[in-house]
Amino acid sequence: MDIDARGPRFGAAVTTVVLAAVLVSGSAWLLAWQTLAFALGAAAGVAKSPYGWLFRTAVRPRIGPPTEWEAPQPPRFAQAVGLVFAGLGLVGYTLGPDWLGPAATGAALAAAFLNAAFGYCLGCEMYLLVRRVTAGAE
């Protein structure tokens, strides 16, 4: 079942704010929250993530029905990629090395910002590339 294409972009906007706050504050707790949000989005799908729930309950009723739909698999894969980077950032902020936390968080922030501001989902593009490569190998 396809999802409202505006939902993942909204989630990316919230993620951008959260990750920017992590970089400014150095808060491992805030990054732990974002890591959990990514984990839920990767495991259950973006519609079931905390930001998906917020979009569905608070935003979507105010902006009307969707005009564009998308398959849920690419954004779900993107959540898994975000989970890897947030997890690495969390390791960096809690255990070290000192550069790993900001570097991994910054990479995740850059990807989230691209999606939020321009609608370009790096993780989704990675998913589609992997699908094309594996389909060609068969």
- Residues of the chain under the 70 pLDDT cut: 137-138
Please report the pLDDT score of residue 15 as a whole number: 98
| 42: helix, strand or coil | helix
Sign of CA dihedral 43, 102, 18, 117: negative
Strand partners, 3: 70
Residue type, 55: F
**Rounded-to-integer distance, Cα 102 and Cα 28, Å:** 11
Q: What is the pLDDT of residue 1?
A: 87
What pLDDT shows up at residue 138? 66
Model confidence pLDDT, tens digit, residues 6-27: 999 999 999 999 999 999 999 9
Q: Which residues pair with 4 in a beta bridge?
A: 69
